[in-house]
């Protein structure tokens, strides 16, 4: 996928396979591709437009070919939604393979594709990309935990099903509104809300490793004031914010905020904020950075009593902060 950039665009076309590879290598980093067969003429065109937090790729290829992208540390991780107009596209991740054509979509994590194949003659494909950090945030809010491992997201979605129609309609709206520097690219607030809605639909409607947990969670949509409160917590987690401060920032009373969190998050705002800070502390503890002592990390995330922090931490994660720190030397891979 395109390297990290707030705005990036590429409009190119040609009639040789080598010319296409040369053009795409500059946009995708290390790009390895080969045609399915030998062709004397290989007409192609590609339009790429990036406007945080989304990107749109529209590609035309006269003949089928296959490729691999060797991601670098600067390559953005995306939720990829492939909408073939003509022809098709297949993605392989490990032993799993999924294909999509004009009546289906392909949904996957852009950095987890081991192998991609463009299928059919004169294929025309739109690929909508959403910054994977939005998906991570959605997972954290939906399941009250941040994923530490792959979601194992690779799915072919039939656009005639209710789930497929919901995602296809929203994706199509984004594609039309982004194409040719469209109106959605001119309105950052609308872009943020639409991409968040798309991430919500994918997390709830497309099968992945945590789908089974949805049966244990209330399916009601979290109200706006609870979502804004959570956004405010994330943005100010490093500051000594209080629940009255959060309620004032959202524009509701503390009582309303309490009711909302109990109804839709099954906890209190204070407990939820503490959980976010615990997660942040755990992420620091799991980093191999011994310049930060455990006490420094404790204070950094608002825990002024080390003994109380250790007790709460162990109750949530089943191990003490010092035990977590030791695991950076011998990771077990058991984190969610």
The pLDDT of residue 217 is above 70: no
pLDDT on residue 85: 95
pLDDT of residue 336 exceeding 70: no
Mean pLDDT, residues 211-220 taken together: 69
On whether the CB atoms of residues 246 and 257 are closer than 8 A, the answer is yes
CB count in 10 Å sphere of residue 209? 13
Q: Rounded to the nearest 10 degrees, what angle do helices 243-250 and 254-264 cross at?
A: 90
Q: Is the pLDDT of residue 147 over 80?
A: no
Cα distances (angstroms) measured from residue 113 to each of 79, 93, 95, 117, 211: 11, 5, 11, 11, 20
Of residues 249 and 71, more confidently modeled: 249
pLDDT classification of 284: cutoffs 50, 70, 90: confident
Residue 99's DSSP bridge partners are 90
Of the two residues 31 and 111, the one the predictor is more confident about is: 111
In terms of pLDDT, which residue wins out, 36 or 27?
36
Mean pLDDT of 27-33: 73
* Residue 1 clears pLDDT 70, i.e. is over it: no
pLDDT of residue 260 exceeding 80: yes
pLDDT digit string, tens, across residues 110-141: 999 999 999 999 999 999 999 998 998 888 77
Which residues does 261 contact at the CB level (< 8 Å), separation at least 6?
226, 229, 267, 268, 269, 272
What are 158-172's pLDDT values in tens digits?
999 999 999 999 999
Average pLDDT rounded to a whole number, residues 251-266: 90
In angstroms, the CA 315 to CA 324 distance is 13
Which pLDDT value is given to residue 4?
Answer: 43
Give the per-residue pLDDT at 164: 95
| pLDDT of the residue at 162 | 94
The contacts of residue 300 (CB under 8 Å, 6+ apart) are: 238, 281, 284, 292
> Nearest-CA neighbor of 91 among 63, 112, 71, 121?
112
How does the average pLDDT of the chain come out, rounded?
A: 86
Is a pLDDT exceeding 80 seen at residue 196? Answer: yes
Position 289 confidence tier, pLDDT thresholds 50, 70, 90: low
Residue found by looking up tokens 């977590």 in the block: 324
Between the alpha carbon of residue 139 and those of residues 144, 196, 203, 227, 292, the distances in Å are 7, 11, 7, 13, 28
Question: d(Cα 156, Cα 207) in Å, to the nearest integer?
Answer: 10
Mean pLDDT computed over 204-220: 79
At 146, the pLDDT band (50, 70, 90 cuts) reads low
DSSP classification of residue 4? S
| Distance of alpha carbon 186 from the chain centroid | 22
Reply yes or no on whether the pLDDT at 334 is more than 50: no
Given a cut of 80, whether residue 18 has pLDDT beyond it is yes
Q: How far apart are CA 331 and CA 144, in angstroms?
A: 23
pLDDT at position 158, please?
95
């Amino acid at each position: 996928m395109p390297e990290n950039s707030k705005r990036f665009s590429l409009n190119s076309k040609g009639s040789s396979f080598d010319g296409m590879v040369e053009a795409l290598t500059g946009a995708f980093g290390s790009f390895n591709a080969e045609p399915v067969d030998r062709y004397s003429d290989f007409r192609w065109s590609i339009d790429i437009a990036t406007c945080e937090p989304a990107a749109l790729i529209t590609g035309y290829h006269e003949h089928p070919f296959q490729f691999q992208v060797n991601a670098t540390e600067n390559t953005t991780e995306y939720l990829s939604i492939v909408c073939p107009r003509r022809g098709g596209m297949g993605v392989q991740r490990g032993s799993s393979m999924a294909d999509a054509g004009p009546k289906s979509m392909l949904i996957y994590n852009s950095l987890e594709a081991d192998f991609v194949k463009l299928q059919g003659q004169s294929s025309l494909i739109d690929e909508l990309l959403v910054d994977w950090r939005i998906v991570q945030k959605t997972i954290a809010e939906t399941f009250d935990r941040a994923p530490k491992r792959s979601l194992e997201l690779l799915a072919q979605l039939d656009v005639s099903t209710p789930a497929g129609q919901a995602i296809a309609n929203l994706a199509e709206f984004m594609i039309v509104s982004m194409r040719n520097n469209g109106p959605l690219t001119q309105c950052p607030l609308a872009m943020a809300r639409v991409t968040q809605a798309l991430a919500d639909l994918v997390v709830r409607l497309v099968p992945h490793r945590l789908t089974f947990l949805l049966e244990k969670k209330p399916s009601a949509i979290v109200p706006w004031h609870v979502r804004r409160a959570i956004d405010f917590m994330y943005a100010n987690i490093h500051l000594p914010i209080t629940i009255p401060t959060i309620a004032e920032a959202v524009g509701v009373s503390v009582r309303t905020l309490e009711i909302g969190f109990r109804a839709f998050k099954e906890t209190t705002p204070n407990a939820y904020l503490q959980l976010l800070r615990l997660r942040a502390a755990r992420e620091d503890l799991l980093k191999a950075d011994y310049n930060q002592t455990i006490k420094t990390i404790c204070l950094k995330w608002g825990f002024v009593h080390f003994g109380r922090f250790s007790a709460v931490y162990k109750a949530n994660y089943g191990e003490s902060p010092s035990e977590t720190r030791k695991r950076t030397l011998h990771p077990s891979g058991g984190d969610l």
